[in-house]
Amino acid sequence: MLDSNLFPYCDGTLHCEGVSLEKLAEEYGTPLFVTSRNSLINQYRAFEKAFAGLDHFTCYSVKANFNLHVIRTLSEEGCGCDVNSGGELFRALQAGVEPGKIIMAGVGKTASDIEYGVKSGIVMLKAESVSELRLVNDVAGRLGMKASVGIRVNPNVTAETHPYITTGDSKEKFGIDEADLDEVFDLLKTLEHVDLTGLDMHIGSQIFDANFYEAALEKLLDVLAAARSAGFDIRYFDIGGGFPVTYEPQKPATPIGHFAEKLIPLVEKTGTTILFEPGRFIVANSTVLLTKVLYRKQNHAGKEFVIVDAGMTELIRPALYQSYHEIVAVSQHNSVMVADIVGPVCESGDFFARERTVDRVKEGEMLAVLSAGAYGSVMSNNYNGRLRPAEVMVDGDNAKLIRKRDSFEQLIQNEVF
Ligand SMILES: Cc1ncc(COP(=O)(O)O)c(C=O)c1O
Ligand SMILES: N[C@@H](CCCC[NH3+])C(=O)O
């Protein structure tokens, strides 16, 4: 749900901060992602305020939105980064984030991801299997270095969220089972190029109930005690991300302060720096996807379709997770209709909303798909020969292009023909 202070209607037109979305669509075309810089800053500060009493460091999970300007805006506020691959590490470093503020996750890191992380001197690589620990040791040994490593523990806690984004259950591929950790500690004592510095969990995304964190943390605290009694100097205790946002006004997210109240007492006496990896919480509601109504049509069954110029190629969340995104007209209307809002892609799953009451827009008018800042642009693709959209960041009355629209030439540039 948008912050109406940052996305207000002025003279009947939706704005991002001080800039009219109509004007942005005219200047940059559609589909277009428009991000409020101050929304990013406000969310980061709200997170920091909630956990202010705790010795912690926040590493924004760049997988949610890896645009260089988004990363840089947060990094200028003092935030670090959580990256999931060499490619994301490259982005974070390019955006100017210091390696000493970066941690690396990833269930399938390659030797080159690991080498890049170790060479760059990041804070901690989070290992997710025994084989990975051995590989990290080999890579670091070859480099003549010692790698700072955290173990991602799979706490076997099934957080209630969409099944595709729950990650702390033992049915999922993530992390190392608690039951295997004694063996892991024994192995680590033999690995000369690995320094176990942290423990880590991440139980999923868009989690409303803090009890799931509590249940997982209790297990991670047992692991901390076991690691210490095995002689390891654990400095980082990483709780992951997953903090929720409101997509539907009828389903408001649990406030971040509630998570802080529940979690701080559990971890404040660990004698470690607590790491957080929020992604969605920081970026989801910072961005709208602007799209133009190409056609309207009714079929004989009385169904109304609004065909827009953005689709699952720009925002795949409704197709992949049946996610709800609010949709509003950029020019205010005073009458509504029930329609399917669908994209141009040749897939029946290419819709933003079905049977939704929306403003009675006409062809050529603009819609804004809200809460498109997390897992939006980053998951966009060129299926159907679609051009990934441009992105604009607004700060007060200023708008800046932060990503150009793909071109036809880019569609074939890597093909050897
Ligand atoms: C390891 C890890 N950390 C952090 C995140 C960010 O999650 P969210 O965007 O829900 O905060 C994810 C994604 O779920 C993740 O896999
Ligand atoms: N892409 C998912 C979130 C994935 C979280 C990454 N582990 C979404 O849009 O909700």
CB of 240 sitting under 6 A from ligand 1:
yes
Does the reported pTM lie above 0.90? yes
CB of 277 sitting under 6 A from ligand 1:
yes
Name the closest-CA residue to atom 5, ligand 1: 241
Q: What is the pLDDT of residue 2?
A: 85
Nearest to 76 by CA among 94, 95, 90, 89: 95
* CA of 106 relative to ligand 1 center, distance in Å: 11
Active site residue 346: yes
Q: Determine which helix (DSSP H) or strand (DSSP E) holds 312, and give its type and residue range.
A: none
Measured CA to CA, the distance from residue 48 to residue 51 in angstroms comes to 5
Q: What is the pLDDT of residue 162?
A: 82
Query: What is the end-to-end Cα distance of the chain in Å, rounded?
Result: 46
Give 355's contacts (C-beta < 8 A, 6+ positions apart): 338, 339, 340
* CA of 83 relative to ligand 1 center, distance in Å: 10
Nearest to 35 by CA among 382, 400, 365: 400
Residue 196's alpha-carbon distances to 83, 156, 228, 343, 363, in angstroms, are: 19, 22, 11, 48, 59
Q: What is the pLDDT of residue 408?
A: 98
Whether cis (ω within 30° of 0) applies to the bond prior to 31 is yes
Q: What is the pLDDT of residue 163?
A: 81
Token pair for residue 366?
């603009």
Q: What is the pLDDT of residue 346?
A: 98
Name the closest-CA residue to atom 8, ligand 2: 375
Q: What is the pLDDT of residue 157?
A: 85
Q: Which ligand is nearest to the CA of 58?
A: 1
Measured CA to CA, the distance from residue 364 to residue 239 in angstroms comes to 46
Q: What does the pLDDT profile of the chain (417 residues) look like in tens digits? A: 889 999 999 999 999 999 999 999 999 999 999 999 999 999 999 999 999 999 999 999 999 999 999 999 999 999 999 999 999 999 999 999 999 999 999 999 999 999 999 999 999 999 999 999 999 999 999 999 999 999 999 998 888 788 887 787 787 889 999 888 999 999 999 999 999 999 999 999 999 999 999 999 999 999 999 999 999 999 999 999 999 999 999 999 999 999 999 999 999 999 999 999 999 999 999 999 999 999 999 999 989 999 999 999 999 999 999 999 999 999 999 999 999 999 999 999 999 999 999 999 999 999 999 999 999 999 999 999 999 999 999 999 999 999 999 999 999 999 999
Domains of the chain: 9-36+284-412 (2.40.37.10), 105-278 (3.20.20.10)
Q: What is the pLDDT of residue 171?
A: 79
Q: Is 25 helix (H, G, I), strand (E, B) or coil?
A: helix
Token pair for residue 163?
């099944």
Token pair for residue 196?
């176990």
Give the CA count within 13 Å in the CB-facing half-sphere of 61.
26
Q: Which ligand is nearest to the CA of 62?
A: 1
Measured CA to CA, the distance from residue 207 to residue 185 in angstroms comes to 31
Measured CA to CA, the distance from residue 417 to residue 414 in angstroms comes to 9
- Test site for ligand 1: of 152, 202, 275, most ligand atoms within 8 A of the Cβ: 202
Atom of ligand 1 nearest to the CA of 165: 14
